[in-house]
Amino acid sequence: MTYAMYRTGAALVVAAALLLPSAISVGAQEDHGITGFAAAHVQAEQEREQKLRSIPDAAHAESNLRRITSEPHLAGTEASHRLAEWLRDQYRSYGFDAEIVSYSVWLPQAREVRLELTAPKPVVLGTPEQPYPIDQDTYNKNAVMAFNAYSPSADVTAPVIYVNYGTQEDYRDLEAMGISVAGKIAIARYGRCYRGIKTKLAEEHKAVGLMLFSDPQDDGYFQGDMFPRGPWRPMSGIQRGSVQYTEIYPGDPLTPGVAATPDAKRLDPADAKSLPHIPTMPINAEDAAVILTDLDGPHVPRGWQGALPFTYHVGPGGAVAHMKLVMDYQQRPIYDVIAKLRGTDDGEWVVLGNHHDAWVYGAVDPGSGTATMLETARALGELARTGWKPRRTMVMCEWDGEEPGLIGSTEWVEANRAELQAKAVVYINTDVGVAGPNFTASATPSLDDVIRDAARSVPGPNGTGSVYEAWLAHAKRGEKQLSGIARTQATLENPGEAPVDALGAGSDFCPFLDYAGIPSIDTGFVGDYGVYHSLYDDFFWMKSFGDPTFQYHATLAKVLGTMALRLDEADVLPFDYAAYAATISRLTNDLVSRASQLGIQGASLQSISDASGHLTASATRASDALQHMDFASFDAAKQNQINHELASVEQALLAPGGLVGRPWYKHTIYAPGSYAGYAAEVLPGVNEALDRDDAAVFQKEGASLAAALLRASARLDEITKLVESK
């Protein structure tokens, strides 16, 4: 018998007569079947999914979040340890084998943060976040003071210069104005790029310090009602966050590429390339207004004016600031929770993850994801109690230390890279699980349709249509998504489909995809979320604004559970490498066009084009072979071999030596941009070499990219041979 497996464009490539009637479509939408399943196995999978989707419950999710947000739980503290122990026990109660895995990492805590103006008149600043009687959690004395993780200690006094968002373009504008930040303290608003990039650029331009604030135009009253009346950041709200240079490498700064075990060989902190050298301090809009009001110098360029009620000036002149930071750097323990629901085949893993540490309470980031993961695990455990056993082992992970720099996930991946590359078929991440009503997803292009099909199968929380229908309708309205990640080029091949973003960085999928080459997904619901990394991201905010009924939490658990089940139970793993190859083909065509416009020609470009053509041909042959595969003629060992090869294609796209200048990042197709941080850079080695006009690096990265594409082609050709052999 033949099997329903792969897609060309948006259409399922399968003879309709071979499919059983589908129960997974919602409403009147088209029946898309279940990719990767034999026709004889579809009904059982449908019944299993329907049972799973009946289990996640809003009341359970609400109870989970109330416990998760019961106290501040910064990474490296005993409160984070207490939460990890509770999570371990919850997973055990659901039937998982769960343990805590600890690492010892170089982690700072703030002991003193002081800010004042010394001119034009002395003013004490550093205003704390305002508590509100309606939300008693805002009075908690254990809430961590506002600081930027991995800022060094410092005591500096200097004139202030406003640098807008602190991007490369902004510094070019300053240079055009004849203004230098050398020897000055820069003040930048949050937005446009990762805060660590703002610190890096300020350091490169020889500033002696950096202050970061949330302008109400981007994150406050300009957007809507402020907390506690509405969901947006109040004037006293402060965005904490790490300024570690994770675009060079994430994780423990002293152990790049190896796990931070007690006996690991460690760098001297002075030699750690991911550590900044100038102090960075987050402040609120109230303090920023005092500083910016006193700035002299020219009126800001067009587009630099924010929403504070006065005319912004660049400086220098007027405002002189004194910053004092006392940071306590120590080796501190972090606590990952690793829970396994053993499968019939422990040689293949479906891995899901979310982090549990938070800057304060973290109701949205990451508590909503944690509460949802628990509901997903409870649903899987309930299925197991009825006699079902996973085909593949389910591994559910709760990471610690994500906020300082993706530490818990990175250390675990570095410790287990060989086993993950041998066993993991996918990594599914959720972080900001629920911040509003709008579904969003990012993935490697081979998994785009896995997400779309799961979303088609899950009813929307409002009782009408499916998650997919609401997702597509929202995308068509063109409303701004808050994912912060650029649209993947693959979307252009399916313009009628809901958009799936490209994976950049900023969450725990990064070490899985960029370092280990594990196909990855990141997903959640977004919305008007203005209290990111602040005291106000607490249970009250979620209950008042984010998801008052917790129906979106329950719905996300159903989406995660559906994706996990399909990837766990599939007869053939549903990777769409034809779609991935089409994306790469267009990316390489764009690269050739861009290089030609810059006057670059040569063998390197031709080798990239040729390798991309080979990949497209190999993916087409493999897709065709899989579509016509008769699994009845294959024994279990051959099936497992085919699935192993399918899961390993992503690893072929890794460059063994990594990207030039940042060898920890090994993926040749996607990486966080060196001056974007969170956003994805496509074909990062060659495109960033073009950005720098570096011909030598372009040639080296071009050869590395072409070799990776040919390795992936060879892996796909091996799949074709396996399928066609009898």
**Catalytic residue numbers, as ranges:** 402
Structure tokens at 519: 């196909």
Structure tokens at 206: 């020889």
**Residue 179 in 3-state DSSP?**
coil
Which ranges constitute the DSSP H helices of 386-506? 402-405, 407-423, 448-457, 467-477
CA distance 605 to 609: 6
Q: Are 655 and 708 in contact (CB under 8 A)?
A: yes
Burial (CB < 10 A; 0-12, 13-18, 19+), residue 222, is: middle
Number of residues written out for the chain: 726
Q: Are 106 and 268 in contact (CB under 8 A)?
A: no
Selection from 219, 607, 100, 196 nearest residue 403 by Cα = 196
Buried b or exposed e, range 55-82, using 16+ CB within 10 angstroms? bbbbebbbebbebbbebbbbbbbebbbe
CA atoms lying within 13 Å on the CB side of residue 156 = 20
DSSP code of residue 2: B
Structure tokens at 484: 């912060």
| Chain CA centroid to CA 24, Å | 28
CA distance 430 to 554: 14
CA distance 94 to 310: 56
Which ranges constitute the DSSP H helices of 69-117? 78-93
Q: Are 174 and 163 in contact (CB under 8 A)?
A: yes
Q: How far, CA to CA in Å, does 78 sit from each of 74, 82, 474?
A: 9, 6, 42
DSSP code of residue 603: H
> Phi and psi of 171, rounded to 5°?
-70, -30
> Phi and psi of 114, rounded to 5°?
-130, 140
What are the CB-based long-range contacts (under 8 Å, 24+) for 694-701?
695/600, 697/660, 698/595, 698/600, 698/604, 699/602, 699/604, 700/660, 701/659, 701/660
**Residue 87 in 3-state DSSP?**
helix
Task: Scan for tokens 């005319």, then name that residue.
Answer: 311
CA distance 151 to 162: 20
Q: Which amino acid is at 423?
A: K
CA distance 509 to 516: 10
In SS3 terms, 454-472 reads as HHHHCECCCCCCEHHHHHH
Selection from 439, 475, 435, 477 nearest residue 458 by Cα = 439
CA distance 258 to 664: 10
**Residue 78 in 3-state DSSP?**
helix
CA atoms lying within 13 Å on the CB side of residue 63 = 8
